[in-house]
Amino acid sequence: MAYENYEPVIGLEVHIQLQTDTKIFSPDATAFGAAPNTQVDPISLGHPGTLPVLNEDVVTHALRLGLATDCSIAPRSVFARKHYFYPDLPKGYQISQFDTPICYDGVLDIFPAADADAATAPEDTLRRIGLTRIHMEEDAGKSIHDAGGTTRLDYNRCGVPLLELVTEPDLRSPREAALFLERLRQLVRYLGISDGNMEEGSLRCDANVSVRPRGREAFGTRTELKNMNSIRHVEQALDYEIARQIAATEQGETIAQETLLWDPDTGTTRPMRSKEEAHDYRYMPDPDLVAVSVDEDMIAHARETLPELPRARRHRFVEEVGLPPYDAGVLTEERAVADYFEDTLRHLYKRTKGGDTDAQAKAVSNFVMTEVLRVINERNLSIEALPVGPERLAQLVFLRLQNKVSSNAAQEVFEAMLEAPDQSAGAIADARGLIQVSDRSAIAPVVDEVLRDHPDQVQTYLGGKEGLVGFFIGQVMQRFDGSPDPQLVRSLVQEGLEARRDASSADE
Ligand code: ADP
Ligand code: MG
């Protein structure tokens, strides 16, 4: 959607559910989808006399995300109690960080100009989105509202660790907001701190949005959108809300600062409550918890354990591995796919021992982008669960590079390998008679025989009907016992025909 006279201004608040063995302040398990109220010890439920103890992994995860987004790290940050009543919050307060977030002043880059094809985005189209803060907090439980009007409570989620990330109001369109969320999801997955799954609530986003006449510096009054559980919904909700705010402004109405719920069924927003202020929550430092101290050693350690991040990896795939930028973008979209690609390539290099490594990388890339990604999408598999692992894929690519199988045969072998997890690519190709004969001395006699048996066609060809070459190739393929390399057959047929041309002109 284009907004001629108005510019949207958007800031996001994202809750990232962390993957940890236990909750943020208690030894409870955190598995998603467990039977209701089975992961609830007295600390999670806020029983009197219980004491929260901070899970160090939560700090480590926060540092990883903070460092990956160039945040400053607070040497000392405190947990606060944020008070409010809701049935899914048994303590009557949520433990969160308030005036001292552990990470602040960071940045995450997006590439909106390359919208249609993010994989080939030139680096200079980047937009730097400021991150105000990233803080640690606990999640609340879940209220499940039945159609019959009953509400049931599942406290399993109480105390599940979250990071809350708040952006500066730097985003300028719903599309940019969606791209930001895609990059953030990719990053938390690379870092291994969250599965980033929006549908399951591992990534939850509230969007703040206002509009201002183009050219004006001051921001308009914002509304806050909640309840969007996919990136597409965030984009749709923002589109709707921006149009609503512009229409209201045009009619001289003032925008009320309020919280709105997105309704995916009607594609509209409706008011939920007027916006609360910080002082409404009666924040106070939590007296049960000591301040979180982060020293230089912890930061250095977290920095050392960061994986190679998506942009650096993509860059390396182009500069060092020799892939086209498009391939590098597709293959680094998910860390597990990039790992699979690189493992396959390592196994392939062991076989090829040199040669044109760019061509080898491209051959593996083609296989991963077409066959591998297609199959994992169709079967809804993670790449780790694909029956064809990197070592076996390398066997197949090697067969293809040596021209031992045709490209059609390679696809057939790949399909067969999916069903036969312990057979090598070579064994499968052999058993199916798909190994190409690429030995000239085996094919040449058959070519000779075919040309000898069809003197009329040879004369017609030599008379100028070069299209007949396909006929001879077909005859050779038919007579040959096995699968001759079609490339080689073609060149032998052409050589044989030309030899006859030379012979007949020598006769004259
Ligand atoms: P809150 O009290 O709601 O947490 P914050 O000041 O922390 O308020 O802002 C929340 C989010 O709203 C941030 O992502 C910020 O970038 C964004 N924001 C602030 N002002 C505006 C505005 N006028 N228009 C759009 N977004 C805004
Ligand atoms: Mg907030």
Ligand nearest to the CA of 255: 1
pLDDT of 443 above 90: no
| DSSP for 355-416, written as a single string | S-HHHHHHHHHHHIIIIIHHHHHHHT--GGG-SS-HHHHHHHHHHHHTTSS-HHHHHHHHHH
252-276 pLDDT, tens digit each: 999 999 999 999 899 998 888 776 6
For atom 5 of ligand 1, which residue has the closest CA?
166
The CB of 8 under 6 Å from ligand 1? The reply is no
* CATH code that applies to domain 438-507: 1.10.10
Give the atom of ligand 1 at the shortest distance from the alpha carbon of 169: 16
Does 208 contact ligand 1 (Cβ within 6 A)?
A: yes
| pLDDT at residue 121, rounded to an integer | 54
Quote the pLDDT of residue 504. Answer: 74
pLDDT value at 428 more than 70? yes
- 167 pocket-lining for ligand 1 (C-beta < 6 Å): yes
pLDDT at residue 117 in the model? 47
For residue 481, pLDDT over 90 is answered with no
Question: Contact 245/37 with Cβ under 8 angstroms?
Answer: no
- Cα(13) to ligand 2 centroid in Å equals 7
> Does the pLDDT of residue 361 top 90, yes or no?
yes
Residue 266's pLDDT is: 92
Residue 460: pLDDT band (50, 70, 90) is very high
pLDDT bracket for residue 115 (50, 70, 90): very low
**CA pair distance 348, 346, nearest whole angstrom:** 5
Ligand 1 within 6 A of CB of 210: yes
**Number of Cβ within a 10 Å radius of residue 322:** 17
**pTM for the full predicted model:** 0.85
Q: Which atom of ligand 1 is nearest to the CA of 209?
A: 25
What digits encode the pLDDT tens for the residues 171-227? 999 999 999 999 999 999 999 999 999 988 999 999 999 999 999 999 999 999 998
pLDDT in tens, 275-313: 666 678 999 999 999 999 999 999 999 999 999 999 899
Q: Which numbered atom of ligand 1 lies nearest the CA of 275?
A: 3
- 9 C-beta closer than 6 A to ligand 1: yes
Is residue 242 within 6 Å of ligand 1 at its C-beta?
no
Ligand 1 in reach of 133 Cβ (< 6 A): no
Domain chopping of the chain, boundaries: 7-298, 308-434, 438-507
Distance 253 CA to ligand 1 centre (A): 21
